[in-house]
Structure 1
Amino acid sequence: MDETIAEALRIAEESFIASSGPGGQNVNKVATAVQLRLNVFALRLSPPVFGRLKTLAGTRMTSKGEIVLTARNYRTQEANRDDARGRMIQLLEAAHKEPKLRKKSRVNRIGKEKRIKAKKNRGTIKAGRGKVDW
């Protein structure tokens, strides 16, 4: 997994674009936002990992198989670059984690009887809340 993440950061393409957000006039003069593009097919992920990554990426994945992350929260290119790379790493790590399989639970006979008894008891309490005749 660590090799995959290192490979991903190596082949990811960065481009700097004009940003909105904090920075005042600096925003108009300097391209501080970072757009990080990663071709997922170049990573050669296993089908289950690729499926999870596709689900996690959502609309950030293009039809050509590229994940596009844009970071524009900070005033400097370096901070935005670190933010974009960190988010890409989190995305890849989450895709590599296998979800735990849910095991069906089953209530035994005593548990069922106990539940029905509690429901009957609650029903009698509610039935006693009717209008009072004086």
Structure 2
Amino acid sequence: MSVPTIPDHEIEISAIRAQGAGGQNVNKVSSAIHLQFDILASSLPAALKERLLAISDHRITRGGVVVIKAQVHRSQEQNRIDALERLYELVARANDVPRARKATRPTRASGRRRLDGKTRRGAIKALRTRVTE
């Protein structure tokens, strides 16, 4: 299944100042990106929305908004690309539907081996009893 595209108008991107060390560049330039994507208000298919909301990810709020903060790179454009890639990766992960597990039964031979092992173990334990004459 292909990952549906997300229209640009549904993604809210704002530039903010990055945290941490970096000196003058960090203090002056708003190079970090704060991305917000409202899952419920998006044009994604309903089934994909449900799977996205079911994912236990700290980036998804209780209100169904994906919040991603990208501040690894020095340039704003690189952080923007990084934030969008992380959003698309999250959507792609929710888009993969795991195959349903088919229950299987143990074979007759494996069942027999299991019972033989239990019988042997029981015999060993029976030999540990007190010897009487």
TM range, normalised to the smaller chain? 0.7 to 0.9
| 1:57–1:118 CA distance, 2 compared to 1 (3 A) | closer
Identity percentage of aligned residues: 36
* Structure with greater helix share of residues: 1
Partner SS, residue 91 of structure 1: helix
RMSD: 2.6
CA contact (8 A) 1:22 1:75 kept: no
Output aligned runs, 1:45-124, within 5 Å. 45-56=44-55, 58-121=57-120
Q: Which runs of 5+ in 2 are unaligned?
A: 128-133
CA contact (8 A) 1:23 1:75 kept: no
Q: Tell me the equivalent position of 1:17.
A: 16
| 1:27–1:110 CA distance, 2 compared to 1 (3 A) | same
Partner SS, residue 100 of structure 2: coil
Please report how far the alpha carbon of residue 22 of structure 1 lies from its aligned counterpart in structure 2 after TM superposition: 5.0
Hey, what's the Cα distance between the residues in 1 that align with 2:32 and 2:126?
Answer: 65
**TM-score, normalized by length of structure 1?**
0.76
| Count of aligned pairs between the two proteins | 127
Q: Which runs of 5+ in 1 are unaligned?
A: 129-134
